[in-house]
Chain A
Amino acid sequence: MPTKKSSSVNYNEIPKNIRRRPFYIIAPGMIILIGIMIPFVLAILLSFTNFSFKSITWHFIGLRNWISMLTDSEFYHALLVTLVYGVSATAVQMVLGTVVALLLKKDTFYSKILKVLFVFPLMVAPAIAVLIWQLMTSNTVGVLEKFLNLFGVFNFPWASSYRTSMFTAVLIDTWVNTPFILLLVLAGIQSLPKSPFEAAQVDGASAWFTFKTLTFPMLKPFMYIALLFRLMAALQEFAVIFSLSKGGPGDSLMNISLTAYMTAFKYSRVGVAMPYLLVLWLIINYSAKAIVKRQRKLARQAEGL
Chain B
Amino acid sequence: MNNKNEIDSKLVSSYNKRKKRKVLGAVGRNLGLTLYAVFALFPLLWMVLCSFKPDTEMYTTVFRFHPTTANYSAVLIGTDYFKAFYQNFVVSAFAVLITIVAGVPVAYALARYQFKSKESVAFTILSFKFAPEILVCLPVFLIFQKIGLYDTYFGLIWVYQLVTMPLLIWVLRGYFEDISVEIEQAAQLDGYKWYEIFLKTLVPLVKPGLVSVGLLAFIFAWNDFTFPLILSGSNIQTITITSLRYLASDTVHYGQVAVASTIAVLPEVIGCLFIQKHLVRGLSFGAVKG
Residues on A facing B (Cβ under 8 Å): 19, 21-23, 25-26, 28-30, 32-33, 35-40, 42-43, 46, 96, 99-100, 103-104, 106, 110-111, 114, 116-128, 131-136, 138, 140-141, 143, 146, 175, 178-180, 183-184, 186-188, 190-191, 222, 225-226, 229, 232, 236, 238-239, 242-243, 257, 260-261, 264-265, 270, 273-274, 277-278, 280-281, 284-285, 288
Q: With an 8 A cutoff between CB atoms, is B214 at the interface? A: no
Residues of A within 8 A of B40 (CB): 117-118, 120-121, 175, 178-179
Residues of A within 8 A of B226 (CB): 238-239
Q: Is the CB of B135 within 8 A of A40?
A: yes
Closest 7 CB pairs of A and B: A39-B139, A187-B290, A125-B223, A22-B113, A239-B225, A29-B106, A123-B268
Q: Is the CB of B44 within 8 A of A131?
A: no
With A26-B106, A117-B40, A190-B290: A184-B135 Cβ-Cβ less than 8 Å:
no
Query: What would 29 A/B residue contacts be, using CB atoms closer than 8 Å?
Result: A22-B115, A26-B110, A29-B103, A30-B106, A32-B98, A33-B161, A36-B159, A36-B162, A39-B136, A43-B135, A43-B138, A103-B36, A116-B273, A123-B265, A123-B268, A123-B269, A124-B223, A124-B265, A126-B225, A128-B243, A128-B261, A131-B247, A133-B43, A135-B46, A136-B46, A146-B62, A175-B40, A187-B290, A281-B132
Q: Is the CB of B50 within 8 A of A135?
A: yes
B61, chain A: closest CB distance, angstroms: 10
Which residue of the partner chain, among A138, A146, A222, A285, contacts B130 with CB atoms under 8 Å? A285
CA distance A275 to B283 in the complex (A): 31
Residues of A within 8 A of B105 (CB): 25-26, 28-29
CA distance A238 to B219 in the complex (A): 18
Q: Is the CB of B43 within 8 A of A33?
A: no
Looking at A29, A33, A229, A257, the one whose CB has the most chain B CB atoms below 10 A away is A29
Looking at B139, B247, B290, the one whose CB has the most chain A CB atoms below 10 A away is B139
Residues of B within 8 A of A146 (CB): 62
With A26-B105, A123-B269, A183-B283: A33-B128 Cβ-Cβ less than 8 Å:
yes
Interface window among B26-34, B70-78, B205-213: B26-34
Q: Is the CB of B102 within 8 A of A28?
A: yes
B200, chain A: closest CB distance, angstroms: 16
CA distance A273 to B127 in the complex (A): 22
**Nearest chain B residue, comparing its CB with the CB of A178:** B40
With A236-B133, A280-B132: A100-B36 Cβ-Cβ less than 8 Å:
yes
Residues of A within 8 A of B289 (CB): 187
Q: Is the CB of A257 within 8 A of B284?
A: no
Q: Is the CB of B33 within 8 A of A111?
A: yes
Q: Is the CB of A225 within 8 A of B138?
A: no
Residues of chain B in range 239-256 having any CB-CB distance to chain A below 8 Å: 239-241, 243-244, 246-247, 254
Q: With an 8 A cutoff between CB atoms, is B183 at the interface? A: no
Q: Is the CB of A243 within 8 A of B244?
A: yes
A263, chain B: closest CB distance, angstroms: 10
Residues of A within 8 A of B276 (CB): 116, 119
Residues on B facing A (Cβ under 8 Å): 29-30, 32-33, 36-37, 39-41, 43-44, 46-47, 50, 58-59, 62, 98, 101-103, 105-106, 108-110, 113, 115, 118, 121, 125, 127-128, 130-136, 138-140, 142-143, 158-159, 161-162, 165, 169, 194, 219, 222-226, 229-230, 239-241, 243-244, 246-247, 254, 257-258, 260-261, 264-265, 268-269, 271-273, 276, 279-280, 283-285, 287-290
**Nearest chain A residue, comparing its CB with the CB of B160:** A36
10 extra interface residue pairs, beta carbon distance < 8 Å, beyond A136-B43, A187-B284: A32-B98, A37-B136, A114-B37, A132-B47, A183-B279, A184-B283, A239-B226, A243-B225, A261-B134, A280-B135
Residues of B within 8 A of A184 (CB): 280, 283-284, 288, 290
**Nearest chain B residue, comparing its CB with the CB of A99:** B32
Residues of A within 8 A of B102 (CB): 28-29, 32
Q: Is the CB of B132 within 8 A of A117?
A: no
Looking at B130, B226, B258, the one whose CB has the most chain A CB atoms below 10 A away is B130
Q: Is the CB of B109 within 8 A of A43?
A: no
